[in-house]
Amino acid sequence: MGIAFFYHLTEATSEQTLAMLIPKAIEAGWRIEVRGTDPARMAQLDVDLWRGADDSFLPHGLAGGPHDALQPVLLTSGQAAANDPTCVMSVDGADIAAGEVATAARACILFDGGDDAATAHARTQWKTLTDAGCAAQYWAQDNGRWTKKAEK
């Protein structure tokens, strides 16, 4: 059974946080889906991830290509991920269901702490997932470091 990690972004962007999380997930041997809600936003995220730091390489693809099933990291916006992910990372309020958390190695929910609607949505998702029996951890940024603030 997996666990949902909630990342409350207050000092870094979702792009910066994904650039930190994705390599760790790849190192763990996981196939990853980065799930958003808007195809145009995911296309921009695709470009941003390719423009990462010079010393980094995040192998990924945007859903809809001929090699989706082979992608170690697949950016989606609503369609089922063809790469059979073991880790799902949600951005921009994309929902992750309790059944997905239960079967995944990890679910990561990134939300903008400066956006009241995003924070409210994350709280609702926390309640929905934990009420369904999913394990969850809440992580917040604290002077450039991630600190676990709650666990259920």
Tokens matching residue 134:
């999913």
pLDDT of 63 = 92
Q: Say if residue 101's pLDDT is above 70.
A: yes
Question: How sure is the predictor about 41, in pLDDT bands with cuts at 50, 70 and 90?
Answer: very high
pLDDT of 51 = 75
What CATH number is associated with residue 137?
Answer: 3.40.50.10110
pLDDT of 55 = 62
pLDDT of 52 = 64
Count CB-CB contacts under 10 A for residue 133: 10
Range of the domain at 101: 3-151
Whole-number Å distance between alpha carbons of 92 and 146 = 20
**Number of domains composing the chain:** 1
Whole-number Å distance between alpha carbons of 23 and 15 = 13
- Average pLDDT for residues 77-106, to the nearest whole number? 94
Q: Are strands 61-62 and 73-76 parallel, antiparallel or unpaired?
A: parallel
What is the residue-averaged pLDDT of the chain?
A: 92
Whole-number Å distance between alpha carbons of 146 and 113 = 14
